[in-house]
């Protein structure tokens, strides 16, 4: 298989309700597209959720890091490429490039996934799955952004607390991965998004949250425009961590 065949490319348009007040695609919508194309790419190669479901397995997103310059503007067509960078025993690295309508990269993303057995919630050995077929899709296309980092938050005072609401939940009854991204960005004053632009956004997913849980948000200001965020459920257990880096326009 050529390197080109290993890369999946998917077409999109920046819909009107999918852009923010600057007219550019929101990170939540971009995140949704990234997770969708990961699903399409895996599906087309026989290791998608639908095949895995028969074996009671599912993919779980562990980490996501996105770096962007100039996201697509309202009504602009764009495409997303995705490929597998590495496969380890319990994790796989999947990368993404977002290309604008001229085909120029305007964002890159890195993600780390595990596969689990839905009944036991235990991780699956990817090398043992279908004789390690997945390693045949490893592709050495460049992804010129840093890997997801370790995030450590020291703040003990939450800046916001909110219960899990109906619109937060996915089909499994858990808060969906995209909603955390939106809730975290909503911690920042709107003026932040006027003066600066989002440069890098990282998510590390640690535990699931469901109906009845309350989410508390803790924020460390690491540097000018650089924030580390931790979300805990019921003011105790870490649910996810995030790194948010803004740059001056």
Per CB under 8 A, residues contacting its own copies are 15-17, 19-23, 26, 28, 32, 35-36, 39, 50, 74-75, 164-167, 169-173, 176-178, 182, 185-186, 188, 190, 193, 211-212
User: Among residues 80 and 143, whose Cβ is nearest to its own copies?
Assistant: 80
User: Among residues 26 and 92, whose Cβ is nearest to its own copies?
Assistant: 26
| Shortest CB 231 distance to its own copies, Å | 16
| Shortest CB 174 distance to its own copies, Å | 8
| Shortest CB 150 distance to its own copies, Å | 26
| Shortest CB 112 distance to its own copies, Å | 19
User: Among residues 128 and 190, whose Cβ is nearest to its own copies?
Assistant: 190
**Per the structure block, which two tokens stand in for 171?**
């089909």
Report the C-alpha gap between 184 and 228 in whole angstroms.
10
| Shortest CB 74 distance to its own copies, Å | 6
| Shortest CB 118 distance to its own copies, Å | 15
User: Among residues 116 and 145, whose Cβ is nearest to its own copies?
Assistant: 116
In our burial notation (b when 16+ CB lie closer than 10 A, e otherwise), range 12-39 reads bebeeebbbeeebbbbbbbbbbbbebbe
* Nearest residue to 198 via CA among 77, 93, 65: 65
* Nearest residue to 211 via CA among 160, 169, 179, 162: 169
3-state class percentages of the chain: helix first, strand second, coil last, to nearest 5: 25, 40, 35
Report the C-alpha gap between 118 and 47 in whole angstroms.
15
CB 27 within 8 A of CB 33: no
CB 202 within 8 A of CB 164: no
Report the C-alpha gap between 40 and 111 in whole angstroms.
15
User: Among residues 75 and 88, whose Cβ is nearest to its own copies?
Assistant: 75
* Nearest residue to 96 via CA among 7, 203, 198: 7
User: Among residues 126 and 185, whose Cβ is nearest to its own copies?
Assistant: 185
User: Among residues 103 and 189, whose Cβ is nearest to its own copies?
Assistant: 189
Q: What SS3 state is found at 158?
A: coil
| Shortest CB 3 distance to its own copies, Å | 28
User: CB 221: neighbour CB atoms within 10 A?
Assistant: 10
């Amino acid at each position: 298989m050529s390197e080109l065949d290993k890369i999946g490319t998917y077409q999109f348009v920046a819909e009107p309700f999918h852009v923010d007040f600057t007219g550019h695609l929101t990170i939540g919508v971009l995140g949704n597209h990234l997770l969708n194309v990961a699903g399409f790419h895996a599906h087309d190669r026989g290791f998608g959720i639908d095949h895995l479901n028969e074996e009671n397995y599912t993919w779980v997103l562990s980490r996501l890091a996105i770096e962007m310059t100039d996201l697509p503007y309202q009504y602009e067509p764009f495409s997303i490429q995705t490929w597998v960078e590495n496969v380890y025993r319990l994790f796989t690295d999947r990368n993404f490039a977002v290309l604008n309508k001229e085909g120029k990269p305007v964002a890159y993303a890195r993600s780390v996934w595990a596969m689990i057995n839905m009944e036991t919630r235990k991780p699956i050995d990817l090398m043992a799955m279908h004789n390690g077929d997945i390693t045949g899709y490893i592709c050495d296309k460049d992804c010129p952004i840093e890997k997801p980092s370790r995030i450590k938050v020291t703040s003990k005072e939450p800046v916001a607390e909110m219960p899990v609401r109906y619109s937060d939940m996915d089909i499994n009854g858990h808060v969906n991965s995209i909603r955390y991204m939106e809730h975290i960005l909503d911690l920042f004053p709107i003026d932040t998004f006027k003066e600066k632009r989002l440069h890098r956004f990282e998510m590390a997913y640690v535990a699931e949250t469901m109906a009845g849980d309350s989410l508390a948000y803790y924020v460390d200001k690491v540097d000018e425009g650089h924030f580390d965020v931790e979300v805990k459920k019921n003011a105790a257990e870490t649910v996810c961590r995030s790194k948010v880096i803004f740059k001056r326009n």
